[in-house]
């Protein structure tokens, strides 16, 4: 684990960053990475991690938003309509090759 992400537990079993400044910088780096990412799979991963890290910082509303975004994007990628479009695209590509 990266040193800036190390946490201790308080008396309520909440994670507390050992290096709050480093942890905060890591969260900002995640936000920047998210802005530059357009690939859905990568965005789901970044949104999930960002939500988890924001929860650790106590930013619960922001954490919930990011986790929900990740879930919505994941579900949209796994929906039957999305799969059907992918399958139809693959079928069309095969038909194009066969007709060449």
> Is the pLDDT reported for residue 4 higher than 90?
no
Mean pLDDT of 62-91: 78
Residue 7's SS3 state is strand
**Alpha-carbon torsion (60, 65, 70, 74), positive or negative:** positive
Structural domain boundaries in the chain: 3-99
> Is the pLDDT reported for residue 3 higher than 70?
yes
**pLDDT value of residue 85:** 57
**pLDDT value of residue 50:** 97
pTM, two decimals, is: 0.74
Mean pLDDT of 24-34: 96
């Amino acid at each position: 684990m990266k040193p800036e992400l190390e946490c201790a537990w308080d008396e309520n079993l909440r994670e507390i960053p050992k290096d709050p400044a480093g942890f905060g910088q890591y969260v900002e780096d995640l936000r920047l990475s998210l802005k530059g990412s357009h690939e859905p799979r990568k965005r789901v991963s970044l949104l999930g991690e960002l939500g988890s890290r924001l929860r650790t910082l106590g930013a619960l509303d922001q954490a919930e938003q990011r986790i929900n975004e990740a879930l919505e994007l994941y579900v949209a990628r796994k929906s039957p309509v999305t799969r059907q479009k992918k399958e139809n695209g693959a079928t069309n590509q095969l038909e194009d090759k066969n007709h060449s």
